[in-house]
Chains A and B, each alone.
Chain A
Amino acid sequence: MLLTGTEVEILTIIGKLEETTTTAISRRAMITPGYADYLCKYLTKKGYLELTKRRSYRLAPEGARTLIKMGRISPIWDKEFVKEMAQEIAKEMRIEGGFVREGRRGLEKGIEIKTEFIPPLELEEVKMESNIGRVNTKKEKSPDFEKTLKLFKKIKSSKRKEE
């Protein structure tokens, strides 16, 4: 099922906090509490979230799988997850019950393990020389900017008071 950007954002927030309420979600996702509540119920109905007895939300297995696939969270290597992965790999290799029935022929194709893992970036200290001293600079009058900023601060401030 294709998820919207906001739905993915909600799953990510819950993935990071493990278990949380719609109030906290609405604050972090910058959406109204009512909208957050609606989306959480919708995602629960679709199997991405679970509602706990404490009236908070946590990721359901489908939600966790979706986030892992998108690289938003790292998988939790518990017994269930390892078993699931092993079964997936076994299917690829056509191994049944842990035994290689086809002998070496079954392994000739090779195992292709897809991973979303992104190694931490280590930029080498590259010696570079450049003459980029000045970049294109423009100074433009923006008479409406102050008004825009004022209105923006007013709206944000009234939202904070509401919450």
Chain B
Amino acid sequence: MKKKKKGLRGVIEKGKGIDIGTSFIHCAEKKGDSIIFKSERDAFFEIGYSDFTKRMLTSSKVKYIQKEDKLYVVGNEAIEFANIFHKETRRPLSRGIISPQEKEALPMVELLIKSVIGKPKYEGEIAYYSVPGLPLDADFNIVYHEKILQGFLTRLEYTPKPINEGLAVVFSELAEEEFTGIGLSFGGGMINMCLSFMSVPIFSFSVTKAGDWIDQQVAMAVDETASQICAIKEASLDLTKDNPDKIGGALSIYYNHLIEYVLENIKREFEKTRHMPHIDKPISVILSGGTALPKGFAPRFKKILQESKFPLKMGEVRMAAQPVYSVVKGALVAAQADESRK
């Protein structure tokens, strides 16, 4: 049964998807034949407090949080401030999970999530939130991260349910293939992968080399800040070209390395999984996430994939229809399906 929200055209349906990433927090809900996406960058930058500064931020509509005697610029503006001051932004999430080093940021994360997801349409509305797979190359567990987010969403009166990021990509993009294939989410802090067969996850994992790793490595190589590299990467990187400039060239090299690293780990997981379900057709691969956005990423991935020897027949490699929103859309599919069973 659809629930109407007073004062808005169209019907906003029950169920929400939320993608809480190292770089961005996204929320999706369905309205008519459209999806409403709400986003906020998951970063903040501390500046000295004064009444004058606060008035300046308010009048220029820069988003901020005041906590005791400190001011924190949040969102996209945080990156701009960081670039001006030639410093780094602070990230409440690190390598895909709540950062143990940023405990004081927990109330800020909660506020950011609250501002993105808003109030539930009814108490107990189902909200599927993305969680990373177990990391293959790092020794931390994701239980703390999952439970913290569950706590935040429960306090906001949602019924939170976790969904693996890679699986969410499959739900969003592989309907025509009966939700069979590989979903890859190239995030800022982590890359998540899931092989799914008829919507059932066969295996999934994450690796902690991702967009931030590229920014940091290139920053070290060319003596710039990671925030600067991130800004250049997002604005102008083209992987179809030669990139003769120092920064473009370094980014291209590290992208190659990242793709090879991911494919190597997928191959290892395939080899470890002895009893694979019998899949007749070639397996499609969906690429998504902000780190996969540069022009030419999909052809480069496909080229490197073809050079690797995979135990299964690989089919089409394509970018998600909406790469940045693929995870949150998949979470929304799961949430709406669950809501319809109530």
Whether A136 and B38, one on each chain, are in contact in the complex, defined by CB atoms closer than 8 angstroms, is: yes
What residues of B have a CB within 8 angstroms of the CB of A130 in the complex?
63-66, 74, 111
Please measure, in the bound complex, the distance between the C-alpha atom of A32 and the C-alpha atom of B115, giving whole angstroms.
39
Does B273 make an interface contact (CB < 8 A)? yes
Please measure, in the bound complex, the distance between the C-alpha atom of A155 and the C-alpha atom of B179, giving whole angstroms.
9
Does A111 make an interface contact (CB < 8 A)? no
Whether B107 and A144, one on each chain, are in contact in the complex, defined by CB atoms closer than 8 angstroms, is: no
Kindly report which residue of chain A lies nearest to residue B269, judged by CB atoms.
A4
Does B143 make an interface contact (CB < 8 A)? yes
Does B40 make an interface contact (CB < 8 A)? yes
Whether B33 and A72, one on each chain, are in contact in the complex, defined by CB atoms closer than 8 angstroms, is: no
Whether B63 and A131, one on each chain, are in contact in the complex, defined by CB atoms closer than 8 angstroms, is: yes
- Chain B stretch 129-154: residues in CB contact (< 8 A) with chain A: 133-134, 136, 141, 143-144, 147-148, 151
- Known: A4-B273, A128-B107, A130-B111. Contact between A140 and B198, CB under 8 A? no
Whether B272 and A144, one on each chain, are in contact in the complex, defined by CB atoms closer than 8 angstroms, is: no
Whether B67 and A128, one on each chain, are in contact in the complex, defined by CB atoms closer than 8 angstroms, is: yes
Kindly provide the distance from the CB of A163 to the nearest chain B CB, expressed in whole angstroms.
12
Does B262 make an interface contact (CB < 8 A)? no
Please measure, in the bound complex, the distance between the C-alpha atom of A161 and the C-alpha atom of B37, giving whole angstroms.
34
Does A31 make an interface contact (CB < 8 A)? yes
What residues of B have a CB within 8 angstroms of the CB of A155 in the complex?
178-179, 198-199
Whether B35 and A156, one on each chain, are in contact in the complex, defined by CB atoms closer than 8 angstroms, is: no
What residues of B have a CB within 8 angstroms of the CB of A121 in the complex?
106, 147-148, 151
Among A70, A139, A148, contact of B141 (Cβ-Cβ < 8 Å) = A70
Does A135 make an interface contact (CB < 8 A)? yes
Does A143 make an interface contact (CB < 8 A)? yes
Whether A2 and B175, one on each chain, are in contact in the complex, defined by CB atoms closer than 8 angstroms, is: no
What residues of A have a CB within 8 angstroms of the CB of B68 in the complex?
126-127
Please measure, in the bound complex, the distance between the C-alpha atom of A12 and the C-alpha atom of B327, giving whole angstroms.
25
Please measure, in the bound complex, the distance between the C-alpha atom of A5 and the C-alpha atom of B265, giving whole angstroms.
13
Whether B333 and A148, one on each chain, are in contact in the complex, defined by CB atoms closer than 8 angstroms, is: yes
Does B208 make an interface contact (CB < 8 A)? no
Does B233 make an interface contact (CB < 8 A)? no
- Chain A stretch 66-86: residues in CB contact (< 8 A) with chain B: 70-72
Does B255 make an interface contact (CB < 8 A)? no
Among A39, A70, A139, contact of B31 (Cβ-Cβ < 8 Å) = A139
Among A4, A35, A70, A124, contact of B205 (Cβ-Cβ < 8 Å) = A4
What residues of A have a CB within 8 angstroms of the CB of B30 in the complex?
145
B 261-287 to A, binary, CB cutoff 8 A, 1 in contact else 0: 000000001001111010000000000
- Known: A70-B141, A141-B33. Contact between A135 and B40, CB under 8 A? yes
Kindly report which residue of chain A lies nearest to residue B133, judged by CB atoms.
A5
- Known: A136-B38, A152-B199. Contact between A38 and B274, CB under 8 A? yes
Whether A128 and B116, one on each chain, are in contact in the complex, defined by CB atoms closer than 8 angstroms, is: no
What residues of B have a CB within 8 angstroms of the CB of A32 in the complex?
200, 277
- Chain A stretch 18-51: residues in CB contact (< 8 A) with chain B: 30-32, 34-35, 38-39, 42
Kindly provide the distance from the CB of B327 to the nearest chain A CB, expressed in whole angstroms.
14
Kindly provide the distance from the CB of B163 to the nearest chain A CB, expressed in whole angstroms.
10
A 102-115 to B, binary, CB cutoff 8 A, 1 in contact else 0: 00000000000000
Kindly provide the distance from the CB of B30 to the nearest chain A CB, expressed in whole angstroms.
7
Whether B201 and A30, one on each chain, are in contact in the complex, defined by CB atoms closer than 8 angstroms, is: yes
What residues of A have a CB within 8 angstroms of the CB of B164 in the complex?
5
Kindly provide the distance from the CB of B208 to the nearest chain A CB, expressed in whole angstroms.
15
Please measure, in the bound complex, the distance between the C-alpha atom of A136 and the C-alpha atom of B37, giving whole angstroms.
8
Whether B175 and A4, one on each chain, are in contact in the complex, defined by CB atoms closer than 8 angstroms, is: no
Please measure, in the bound complex, the distance between the C-alpha atom of A140 and the C-alpha atom of B79, giving whole angstroms.
26
Please measure, in the bound complex, the distance between the C-alpha atom of A131 and the C-alpha atom of B277, giving whole angstroms.
52
Please measure, in the bound complex, the distance between the C-alpha atom of A30 and the C-alpha atom of B321, giving whole angstroms.
26
Kindly provide the distance from the CB of A67 to the nearest chain B CB, expressed in whole angstroms.
10
Does B336 make an interface contact (CB < 8 A)? yes
Kindly report which residue of chain B lies nearest to residue A143, judged by CB atoms.
B33
What residues of A have a CB within 8 angstroms of the CB of B204 in the complex?
5-6
What residues of A have a CB within 8 angstroms of the CB of B334 in the complex?
152
Kindly provide the distance from the CB of A2 to the nearest chain B CB, expressed in whole angstroms.
7
- Chain B stretch 16-53: residues in CB contact (< 8 A) with chain A: 30-31, 33-40
What residues of B have a CB within 8 angstroms of the CB of A127 in the complex?
67-68
Residue pairs across A and B with Cβ atoms less than 8 A apart, 9 shown, are: A31-B201, A42-B275, A121-B148, A130-B64, A139-B35, A141-B34, A152-B171, A156-B199, A159-B199
